[in-house]
Structure 1
């Protein structure tokens, strides 16, 4: 078996691939010089040609005609995998869609390696689907089949937080008892693990991994909570209509607040129903904005603006979120306090899962020497404050938030398919 191998971090929001070759670990540029790529696809309407990553995002926001998709990872293990979807009039299954995205990543690594890569460690969350071992196993099986379909012959899996730990381990001096918090777009996963730079070459780390927990909560859920709290009310959410003062249907607003459901809103039936309700609405100004979003298919732009507000509120206390694509000179002011209140329930679930990981490992909060934060959602100030509060004696490591899982998976692939490593680099 070839000792050339790789690790693939297929994320809800961003993805990466890293090579393990000739005792070297290296992140591969997957889009120009970028070593991460947004997990996004745009299918051009004229010929269904697919574009990926930042190009896909730019095409969509430039209002090019076509179908935009994000958060595809969340479809794994669900009934949507079998149902498929209609893309510009053509029925497509999600296995083919995900495979096309991962194939473009693999091709970049194959080009750097100068040969077809056959060995891969795929990252996976601790739980693809909460409280359903059957759906969780189904999701991994689906991802394994997709990996085989794009050309991998030897496929292993590793929990994403464990991979993040491996990426940090090579730089450690001495031994550390660490908890890894991997907060991505779709899931939050935790691992308590003993780390040492002397352990990098060990092929069996089962004795070092003390516990794993995970919950299906991530940055996309933060976006949804913020949208429902601050954005959707300005589109008529929870307004009333008719003589009986009935509340308008809530489902379109909830679907409009989720990346994976927006594309299913643009049906003639729903648009017609929404137009009809507008005539009976008691808040026509706001509810008309919902009609506009559905008619002009700008749901993803609404979500992108919401995500932009979330990111802006990590650095500032107040942000005027622009929605001029809905209505001229329209913006929504949002305070960080409102955002933190909106996501407080999700943060509580995250803290509960982290605490359960400690309990399962049989260690106290005070015993943790190192907290490794990875994933874009760890940028949120409330999250950082909670982890500093939970682990008062620990150092915080939060570099390479978006690429540490990919690096760690490559380290693990070297252990599984080859021999030790020497250093971590980025291929120029």
Structure 2
């Protein structure tokens, strides 16, 4: 029986797994008809039964009582990873939660392979955490421990943008100097690499990789910027209170704009604080909506509305965002220009990091022949335009944006494990 290994792309927003043997590399159908699965889990309140991916999101959006968890990757390497969290009254460690999620997709892959998988290449961002090598090492160690817990006896890691490059290499007819732009939910990573289909089975690619850099900015940050610019104002963000016309505290709104923090707001103490401030609010109608969200625990519905708006603005110049979960008549018109303005600072930081990668590679933007866009955040029109402007001589490839990293990791696993 020929060796078989796999590659796992555990993403902040979406995940995938691909198999590799001597003859082929193929993605695994992680859900019916789908080769990616949202990195989401939903725990029913009555017994903490876990549901995954799209089913988890559907249960949450249908307002079933329970706890939704997303952006789990962002806790790797942080103190929160060790602290754990309360899930419907039960303390759960994040390593248990992440293990359960990854076990779900590993089981799908083993059913397709017809055997137990023991070798894996795990994807990782260039930096789990910016400017913190200790936290970065800890994050990789935590992910490796989870892989071992899943039954993998051989575990390697590969930078996600390098994996995306491997996935594109098969279709090339000549050598190309490429920049991989991997913009995920939590990080933005870049690699300058020499690509050629002659190198597909080359076990050591270190001489082809000229530079890689990364920054902890991703699509979730774009969601937060859009939320604060266009969504949170309907809850009284930046409104005032009291005789001194002070601005209402912003921190609740910032936490409501992040998947990884919203569950921490549903406490009696925070609800009491908001109730107290409501008496002094100068815009009680809007500020009362904040109280309603906290009391009814519908923060995730706000995040879902933000995400829906961001996706809609990919193809439309404006979108009417509904807040029916607050009031059947409540909606707000959001323009793409508002979104572009909100994310401009982050797009500039992403661009600077990409140019730094090109410089570190000893080349210039006009020498880049191929720009590979991967990750859902590269769908944002402002991002696409930015990279077309930065690299005017390059062909831009955006095929398999959500699954190329998983495929590339499987290619890498075949080269490493046979």
User: Residue 289 of structure 1 corresponds to which residue in structure 2?
Assistant: 289
Q: Within 2, Cα distance between the matches of 1:207 and 1:2?
A: 29
**Residues 176 and 194, structure 2, Cα contact 8 Å, conserved in 1:** yes
State the SS of the aligned residue for 1:173. coil
Q: Within 1, Cα distance between the matches of 2:340 and 2:373?
A: 19
TM-score by length of 1: 0.97
CA-CA distance at 1:326 after TM superposition? 1.2
User: Residue 190 of structure 1 corresponds to which residue in structure 2?
Assistant: 190
Q: How does 1:86-101 map to 2 (within 5 A)?
A: 86-101=86-101
Q: Within 1, Cα distance between the matches of 2:7 and 2:137?
A: 20
User: Does 2:81 correspond to 1:74?
Assistant: no
**Residues 213 and 354, structure 1, Cα contact 8 Å, conserved in 2:** yes
User: Residue 270 of structure 2 corresponds to which residue in structure 1?
Assistant: 270
User: Residue 201 of structure 1 corresponds to which residue in structure 2?
Assistant: 201
**Residues 42 and 56, structure 1, Cα contact 8 Å, conserved in 2:** yes
User: Residue 314 of structure 1 corresponds to which residue in structure 2?
Assistant: 314
Q: Within 2, Cα distance between the matches of 1:328 and 1:109?
A: 43
CA-CA distance at 1:239 after TM superposition? 1.2
User: Residue 351 of structure 2 corresponds to which residue in structure 1?
Assistant: 351
1:218-270 deviations in Å (ceiling 9; x for gaps): 10000000011111111111111122222211110000001100010100110
Q: How does 1:294-305 map to 2 (within 5 A)?
A: 294-305=294-305
User: Residue 426 of structure 1 corresponds to which residue in structure 2?
Assistant: none
User: Does 2:31 correspond to 1:31?
Assistant: yes
State the SS of the aligned residue for 1:194. strand
User: Residue 381 of structure 2 corresponds to which residue in structure 1?
Assistant: 381
User: Residue 133 of structure 2 corresponds to which residue in structure 1?
Assistant: 133
User: Residue 260 of structure 1 corresponds to which residue in structure 2?
Assistant: 260
User: Residue 370 of structure 1 corresponds to which residue in structure 2?
Assistant: 370
User: Does 2:105 correspond to 1:116?
Assistant: no
| Structure 1 segments (4+ residues) deviating >4 Å | none
Unaligned runs of 5+ in 2: none
**Residues 126 and 213, structure 2, Cα contact 8 Å, conserved in 1:** yes
User: Residue 144 of structure 1 corresponds to which residue in structure 2?
Assistant: 144
1:383-424 deviations in Å (ceiling 9; x for gaps): 000100011110010010000000000000000000xxxxxx
Q: Within 2, Cα distance between the matches of 1:243 and 1:391?
A: 53
State the SS of the aligned residue for 1:342. helix
Over the residues paired in the alignment, what is the CA RMSD in angstroms? 0.9
Q: How does 1:140-179 map to 2 (within 5 A)?
A: 140-179=140-179
Q: Within 1, Cα distance between the matches of 2:282 and 2:147?
A: 52
CA-CA distance at 1:2 after TM superposition? 7.0
Q: Within 2, Cα distance between the matches of 1:328 and 1:248?
A: 26
Q: Within 1, Cα distance between the matches of 2:21 and 2:112?
A: 11
Q: How does 1:204-219 map to 2 (within 5 A)?
A: 204-219=204-219
Figure out how many residues of one structure are paired with residues of the other and give that number. Answer: 418
CA-CA distance at 1:146 after TM superposition? 0.5
State the SS of the aligned residue for 1:198. helix
State the SS of the aligned residue for 1:343. helix
Q: Within 2, Cα distance between the matches of 1:258 and 1:412?
A: 33
Q: Within 2, Cα distance between the matches of 1:53 and 1:83?
A: 24
CA-CA distance at 1:23 after TM superposition? 2.0
Q: Within 1, Cα distance between the matches of 2:78 and 2:22?
A: 39
Q: Within 2, Cα distance between the matches of 1:327 and 1:281?
A: 20
CA-CA distance at 1:3 after TM superposition? 2.1
State the SS of the aligned residue for 2:97. helix
**Residues 229 and 342, structure 2, Cα contact 8 Å, conserved in 1:** yes
Q: Within 2, Cα distance between the matches of 1:22 and 1:110?
A: 17
